[in-house]
Homo-oligomer: A and B are copies of this chain.
Amino acid sequence: MVSTFAPQAAGDLNFLKKLNRSSILGTVRRYPGATRADIAAHTQLTKATVGGVVQALLERGWLREGELQPRGGGRPGRALYLDDAHHVLLGADIGVRGLRVVACTLGGEVLLQRYVTEAPTTPEETATRLAEMLRVLRDDPVIVDRHCLGLGVTVPGPVAPEQPILRLAPNLGWIDVAFLEVLRPHLPDLDGAWLLDNEANAAAFGEFYFHDGIPPESIVYISAGSGIGSGLVTGDNYPLVPRGIQGLVGEIGHTIVQPGGLYCHCGNRGCAETLVSGWAIRAALGIADTEDLEAAIAARGDDPDVNAVLRRAGEALGTLMLNLHHTLNPAMLVLGGSLMHLGERLIAPALAYFEAHQNDLLRGTQRVPVKVIHDSTFTAARGAAAQVMAKAALEA
């Protein structure tokens, strides 16, 4: 489960400095308006150390000073915030049914976004198209003068844990694509970190990293779209994204929840993806791949068949949530993906099932909160941008 941001095994003084700088930056990210004194208390570093590092981060445009924070009967501290004016993070999402790009501030605010609803064909053509979109973004007056910290790209399939290679995207027909290498010639001037990750991993990372308020201890993001997958993020200052030995962590679409059930395209039977996924719902309702799923379902109105299919899919989603709860046990579950557009007929049964059963094992303990992102169009792209920032923060 090596992570992109795994802590090193051993280190020198420079490593220690990076660690502390990243820790201080992470504290401000999670506690906007924190003062130097707050940071020192939180990180266990001394005021002197914090003061010096903060000074350097102010000069480099990573932090900015804000108003005075009154303290009870003492000198007020100076509030610190992430500097939203000098840097920009780029994120791109290659989805089965479209391409999305975003430009973000260090605080996760989306400055610019673009979306085209064309299905990707070959990696080369996709790279051409994506590069166009990114160039338009890069040249936009809103961000043209900012320093770009890098680009994160997400893909709908598992990525090898050690190298940025998409292993398999069944819904794109791509196998073993080193997409960053395909894209790089199209954007020779785009410097900074270049990252490639699975779409659900990136989305999970973004929800965690740019969480409003103090982030939960760990998050699992469930991405229900054409297929279904999930991403896990955990850690304090250094969010970890476990990928597993083959990048298959969170490939819940192919966990078996109905032995002897329907055949899945993976060759197995009873995979979760045969119950809750875009193509499973299309198959069950006879909706062609060319049609827009949301529109087709809306057109059928209050059809009992539709209701039954959505309810069963929702219950399967609830089962998956419960299984994730008992396997990864995250502090928060986030539901996203295009299937969320299908609304309460799918979402309500999922939540109801999970709510009813999550505490069967440990009675009386805290409930695991579930957040539903009804429109997650740019969630993965923004998450990819978050990963760029986390990477760059270590080098700041």
Contact = CB atoms under 8 A, between A and B. Distances in A.
Interface of A: 1-2, 7, 9-13, 15-16, 19-20, 23-24, 26, 43-45, 158, 167-168, 216-218, 232, 234-238, 240, 242-252, 254-259, 266-268, 315-316, 319, 322-331, 357, 360-362, 365-366, 368
A99 to B, nearest CB: 25
Contact of A255 (B7, B15, B323, B330): B323
A218 B246 contact: no
Contacts of A249: 327-329
Nearest to A264: B360
- Determine the main DSSP class of A at the interface with B: loop
B10 A254 contact: no
Q: How many copies does the complex hold?
A: 2
B1 A266 contact: no
B43 A10 contact: yes
Contacts of A319: 256, 259
B326 A252 contact: yes
Given A7-B238, A10-B20, A11-B20, A245 B327 contact: no
A242 B326 CA distance: 13
A11 B7 contact: no
Given A20-B10, A218-B244, A360 B327 contact: no
A361 B251 contact: yes
A248 B329 contact: yes
A246 B365 CA distance: 8
Contacts of A257: 256-257, 259
Contacts of A248: 325-326, 329, 361-362
A361 B259 contact: no
